[in-house]
Structure 1
Amino acid sequence: MWGVLSILSPYFLTYNNIFNLVRQTSVIAVVATGMSFVIISGGIDLSVGSIVGVSSIIISLLMVNGVPVFGAMIITLLIAIVLGAITGIFIYEGKVPPFIASLGMMSMARGLALLLSGGQIITGLPGSFISFAQVTVLGLPMLFVVLIIVVGISFFVLSRTRFGRNVYTIGSSDEVARLSGVNMRINYYAIYMLNAFLSAVAGIMLTSRLSSGIPTSGNMYELDAIASVVIGGASLNGAEGSVFGTVIGALIMTTLRNGGNLLGVDPFWLRIATGLLIVLAVLFDQVRKKQ
């Protein structure tokens, strides 16, 4: 894709475009990394975009009202973890299907964002917070550095810890997980709390990048996150996937949009292409399993 776009557009491989492409990828890739844990465990979470939005509003309101940046971040992350725990409770204790439980949380979190903000964009954020998305480390955007840290920790957790092994075991079979001595309650809670936590991290990153709190921010991120995970090689049946594949999937999604904008492609066609990519990725997975 990069090779073709570099031929079709002289602007694609410019420093400014690659810099913006990496920043855009970083936000959605952080959300998709959390979604990786959920999908590998055999679940789904449609609330991630709304948690991005409500996190953006919460941290913005806190900072505008005088709470220090670090304190506002901690409070925002803790609230997101609580929202993730609520989703986990619905799923494990209430036996509500993950699709329905997360659909309900999607509506509640978005409604909370609109309620707290009054439907208005929140501006006047501290300069130190806004500059976070603008600074670079060794030529790399700070948002990308955050992504590297998130991916590194997530890879270690999935591949080197008992919790990571439990995620794959649960995705393979709930019954096998129980017979293997996996504490289902704790692990289900942890999976959805971690997913909400990373969605909040992405919400904070996006707020810094946009220099304001927007109640509708993160809209349709759940689609992008699921697409990134599936295109990256994960199976919606669970027990398969990796965070590195997810990052590649997120980069493909962002490149598709970025290249389309440079070439003047109608954004509605790009949305159609995104949906087609998801279907083709799942279809390829099903064919591979049959073989």
Structure 2
Amino acid sequence: MTVTPTEIAAPKQRRKVNILFGLTLIGLLIGLWVALGLVTTSFWTPLNISNLLRQGSMTAILALGETFVIITAGIDLSVGAIVGFAGVIVAWLLQAGFPVWAAILLTLAFGVAIGAFHGFGIVHMGLPPFIITLASLTALRGFGLLITNGSSINITNEAFANFSRADFLGIPSLFWMVILVAIPSYILLHLSRWGRYLFAVGSNSEAARLSGVRVSAIIYMAYILSATFAAFVGILLASRIAIGNATQADGWELQAIASSVIGGTSLFGAVGSVHGPLIGAFILATINNGANLLNVNSFWQRIITGLLIIVIVYFDQLRRRRSS
């Protein structure tokens, strides 16, 4: 059977709304860049722009994975812990003498396994996404600390450690990784039936099931993508800092959720895009970067992020009320 529930917006209409919202976000991002260029002397320096791209890239990939889950009306609180755990695994494998390619593939496989575990807990055990991913957040930090005995694993492989510091065509390699992830994600979410199924599940899972969608498979897919993207970010972070440490990326799950929400993803499900969370991540990175350049207390950065989330979710609620 094909998916035809009335609750699902037409793909063309949804794409039009996403494009308009995306242009608004780009305008906001450019406005921030112009303002910071006027009030600081170092914002537009090549070194700062390179740092800004590196800062936003890992959050962007993490936010994109989180978006797949939020579209299904779920949540993944474990992505920050997966980043730290993946960094420990790839560092441990490299220290054990595994080739770089094998260490990366095995670490990504751990991400797939964690995402499948979340899907199993939600689909077959009936656990709320909040609970199962919160449990993973705590457990993965513990596993990482057990493996490292509470310390760090140094990465001595120069090729691996130098990757995240390198540039290609004048653009940081980490930003190219965003593009590498974003293109297939766009095809999946906006140009394939699997993307339509994600929106269908988030809109009304029961209507989607009655229309022939394998809801359980879609939930598995969303959480596997989220965890795998987080494991990929863990690999990139380990490359950037040249260590594996289980305590790294603490609180990054909140940054990922915030970036996704700022990018227009609805916490109520069925609304989201690929470009939105990517732009949202760089908006957050720009705010943090500008605050650092202006010597603003780092605590204010958290307050600003929290206020942005409140405002955006509030207007999302208003939009939903008007459309209902």
Task: Give the TM interval when normalised to the shorter protein.
Answer: over 0.9
Deviation at 1:100, TM superposition (A): 0.9
Quick check: 1:82–1:193 contact (8 Å CA) kept in 2?
A: yes
* Contact 2:54/2:174 (8 A) holds in 1: yes
Q: Which residue matches 1:237? A: 268
2-structure distance, mates of 1:248, 1:215: 28
Asked if 1:157 is matched to 2:188, the reply is yes
TM-score w.r.t. structure 1 length? 0.98
Aligned to 2:100: 69
* 8 Å CA contact 1:60, 1:125 repeated in 2: no
Q: In the TM superposition, what is the alpha-carbon distance from 1:27 to its structure 2 partner? A: 0.5
Q: How many residues align?
A: 291
| Cα distance in structure 1, aligned partners of 2:46 and 2:157 | 28
Q: How big is each residue's C-alpha offset from its partner over 1:179-214, in whole Å with a ceiling of 9 and x where there is no partner?
A: 111112221111111110000111111111111112
- Provide, for residues 58-110 of structure 1, a one-character-per-residue CA deviation record: whole Å limited to 9, x for no partner: 00011011111110001101011111111111111111111111111111111
- Does the alignment pair 1:98 with 2:129? yes
Output the CA distance in 1 between the equivalents of 2:47 and 2:242: 19
Question: Per-residue displacement from partner, 1:21-72 (whole Å, max 9, x unpaired)?
Answer: 0011110100101001001111000000000000000000110111111100
Q: Which residue of 1 aligns with 2:257?
A: 226
Amino acid at match of 1:125: T
Give 2:116's aligned amino acid: A
Percent sequence identity over aligned pairs: 44
Looking at structure 2, the residues matched to 211 and 129 of structure 1 have their Cα atoms a distance apart, in angstroms, of: 8
- The equivalent residue for 2:165 is 134
- Aligned equivalents of 2:193, 2:150: Cα separation in 1: 43
From 201, 209, 214, the equivalent of 1:178 is 209
How far apart, in 2, do the equivalents of 1:96 and 1:290 lie?
29
Please name the residue that 2:178 is paired with: 147
Q: Are the counterparts in 1 of residues 56 and 282 from structure 2 also a CA contact under 8 Å?
A: yes
Shift of 1:289: 2.1
- TM-score, normalised with respect to structure 2: 0.88
Q: In the alignment, does 2:288 pair up with 1:254?
A: no
How far, CA to CA, are the matches of 1:119 and 1:7 in structure 2?
A: 45
- Amino acid of the residue matched to residue 262 of structure 1? L
Matched residues in 1 for 2:151 and 2:75: separation? 30
Which of residues 143, 148, 153 in structure 2 aligns to 1:112?
143
Distance 2:195 2:155 in 1: 41
Report the Cα offset of residue 288 of structure 1.
2.0
1:157-190, Cα deviation, whole Å (9 max, x unpaired): 0011121111110000111110111112221111
Q: Which residue of structure 2 lines up, in the alignment, with residue 4 of structure 1?
A: 35
> Do the aligned partners of residues 124 and 45 (structure 1) sit closer, same or farther apart at CA in structure 2, a change above 3 Å counting?
closer
Equivalent of 1:121 in 131, 134, 152: 152
Q: Which runs of 5+ in 1 are unaligned?
A: none
